[in-house]
Amino acid sequence: MSDSCSFLSRTRHLRGPARSWIFCSSQAPRITRQWFLSRSGSRCGRSSRAASSSRCRRGRHRLLSTRPRPCGWSRWSRRRTHRRGRRHQSAPRIRPWLWQPSREDTRMALMVNDLAAVQARVLSRVETRLAEQLALRERTRLRVEDQRWVYELVGQAVAEEQLSNPAAVHDDWELMWRTVFAAVTPLGPLAEHLADPDVEEVRINGTESCFVFRDGRRIAVPPPFADEAGLVELVHWYTDGAAGARLDRASPMVTMTLPEGSRLHAALSPPARPMTVTIRRHPPARFPDLNALESSGFLPAALIPLLEAAVAGRLNLLVAGGAGAGKTTFMRVLSRLFGKDERIVTIEDQAELHLWRELPDCVSLEGRPANIEGKGAITIQMLVHEALRMSPDRIVIGEVRGGEALDLLDAMNTGHPGSICTLHADSPRETLPRLVRLALRNPQAPRAEVVRAEVVSTVDLILFVGFARVGPDCRRARRLLSIGCIAGADVDRPVVNELIGLGGDGCWHRAGSLTAMSDRARS
C-alpha cells in the first residue's frame, strides 16, 4: 500500500486527460478491473494489517475494491467475514516506473489543448459561419467592405473557444484572433504587415520576393503567397464593388485608393514580370502635427514657428522631393494649420490626403482614368477648373504632373493665395525649372518667358524633402533638407536662394538671409 500512496502523491499534480490516461492504460489491467480511486470515503479504505479486529476508518486517495459493500465491522480472517463488513485486500505491488507515462503519451493526452488543435477548431467554426453569412448575402466570396463583420465574427469564435476550454495551452488569444482572420480573408500573411502601424509600404514581386518599408528602411520578408492566384485574389478582393477598378487581361494594371487611405497598384504578368502589387500606406494619425514630425527628427523645433507663420501668412508653398520622401505626409500636416473658417478644396489623382474628414469646410476632388473605350477620364486640369467654381480660400493639389501647373499658377495669382502643392524634383534648384516645363505643356500656355515670370511672382517658399544618412549606423531617414525662396529670375531660369539647409553633420544651418524673400513674404 505504501507504493500505491507514493504513486498517488507523484501523480497528484496531473489533471484532465493525463490523469485519466494513467488509470485507463493497458499497462495496468488489474487496476482497472479491481481498483478505483475514492475521495468520498463512502466505502472502506482501511489498509490491511495483521490478523486483528477494528472498525474501518474513512479513507482518502486509496485504491479500493469495486465491489459495493457498506463499511462496517470486519475481522481479518481467511475463512470468516463479518456479515456487515467485508474482507480487506491489499493494493497490488506495482513497480513505480510502470505508472509513469512516456513523453509521447503525455503529448497525445494533452493534444486537445494544443495550440494547433485549438486554432483548427476556431478556424473550422469561423469557416462554417462565413459560408452561412455569404449564402444569406447571395455571394460566393468576401469583399473589402466585409472586413469589419468578419473580424467581429472571428473574435466571437475565439471568445467562445476561450470560455469552453479555459485550460487551453495558449497565452495570446489576440494573436490567434489575427491569425484566423488572416486565414479566412485573401490577405493571408499580408495582414500581419498591414496591421503594423509602422509599415509604410509593402512591395510584392510575385512569389519570389517581398519587401516591407519601415521608417525608410527596406526589410526583406518571406513572400506571403505561394502562387500568383493568391495575388490576383487579393487584388480582386479590393476591386470588387469599387467603381472604375478592375484587373483582368483587358485591363492588366490598376491603381486605386483603399478604404483606409492606402494606395494600391497592381500589374498582371504580362506586361509585368513577375506580377507585382505595391501598397503605399498614408496613416493620417501617425503625424498629427509639426511637433510629431519634430519628435521623429524630420525637422528641427526652431523651424516650427517659421512654418506656422508661413501658413498663417497665406504664402504659396511648393513641397518638392523624390518619390517616397514624405511629401504627402508633410503637406497633410501643413494643411491642418489652415483656419477653421476657410474653405479648402483638395485635388488629387489618387485620394491620399483625406482632409475632408478632418477640416470642417473641405471638399476633395479625385481624378479618374479613362475606361476601356478611352472615355470618361477626369484630369487634374479639369478638376482645377471645377475647384475655381467652388469659391475656395485655398487650393491644395496632391501632385502637379502636367499642364494643370499653369492653371494652379493662375489660381494663386487671382485671389487664392496660401495654396500648397507637391512636385517631383531631384534638388531644390531644379524645382522651379521643372514647374515651368510642366506649365508649358498646357495647350494654352504663353511664351516661356511669361510663364517663368509668373512662377517667380507666385511661389513664395520651396520646401524640399528627401533622405539623409543619420546616426552612427548611417541609416536612411526622411528629413526636411532645405527651405528656399525665390530671389528673382536669371536669363533662362528662376533663381532659388536657400535659407536653411541640412548639413553633412546632420544639423540644420542657416544658409541665407531673409532679405532675399519677397516683400509679401517678409511682411
The CA distance from 13 to 170, in Å, is 20
Give the pLDDT confidence score for residue 79 in this predicted structure. 44
* pLDDT range class, residue 344, cuts 50, 70, 90: very high
Q: What is the mean pLDDT of the chain?
A: 76
Q: Against a cut of 0.75, is the pTM above it?
A: no
Give the pLDDT confidence score for residue 33 in this predicted structure. 35
* pLDDT range class, residue 473, cuts 50, 70, 90: confident
Instruction: Transcribe 229-254 into DSSP letters.
Output: HHHHHHHHHHHTT-TT---SSSS-EE
H or E stretch covering 190: helix 190-194
pLDDT higher than threshold 70 for residue 92: no
Domain ranges of the chain: 2-109, 112-280, 290-522
Give one word for 56, left, alpha or beta, with left for phi > 0 and alpha for psi -120 to 50: beta
Kindly report the backbone phi and psi dihedral angles of residue 484, in degrees, each rounded to the nearest multiple of 5, phi listed first.
Answer: -130, 165
Would you give the DSSP letter of residue 327? H
CATH topology of domain 290-522: Rossmann fold (3.40.50)
Which range among 61-75, 184-198, 316-330, 488-502 shows the weakest confidence by mean pLDDT? 61-75
* Same fold? 112-280, 290-522: no
Specify the amino acid at residue 214.
R
Burial of 333 (0-12, 13-18, 19+ CB in 10 A): buried
pLDDT higher than threshold 60 for residue 23: no
Which range among 84-93, 168-177, 414-423 shows the weakest confidence by mean pLDDT? 84-93
H or E stretch covering 131: helix 115-136
Give the pLDDT confidence score for residue 514 in this predicted structure. 67
The CA distance from 155 to 178, in Å, is 9
Give the pLDDT confidence score for residue 263 in this predicted structure. 86
pLDDT higher than threshold 60 for residue 124: yes
513's grid cell: 538671409
Query: CB of 390 within 8 A of CB of 403?
Result: no
* Mean per-residue pLDDT, 134-153: 81
The CA distance from 190 to 3, in Å, is 57
Burial of 404 (0-12, 13-18, 19+ CB in 10 A): buried
Torsion of the alpha carbons at 47, 49, 53 and 54, rounded to the nearest 10: -40
* pLDDT range class, residue 44, cuts 50, 70, 90: very low
Query: CB of 98 within 8 A of CB of 11?
Result: no
Q: Which residues contact 427 (CB under 8 A, 6 or more apart)?
A: 464
pLDDT higher than threshold 80 for residue 248: yes
374's grid cell: 478611352
* Mean per-residue pLDDT, 156-185: 76
H or E stretch covering 199: strand 199-205
The most confident of the ranges 18-32, 111-125, 331-345 is 331-345
Residue among 426, 407, 434, 444 nearest 482 (CA): 426
Which range among 165-169, 226-230, 244-248 shows the weakest confidence by mean pLDDT? 165-169
* pLDDT range class, residue 204, cuts 50, 70, 90: very high
Give the pLDDT confidence score for residue 518 in this predicted structure. 66
Q: What is the pLDDT of residues 397-408, one digit of tens each?
A: 888 888 888 888
> Which residue has cell 507515462?
101
| Architecture of the domain delimited by 112-280 | 2-Layer Sandwich (3.30)
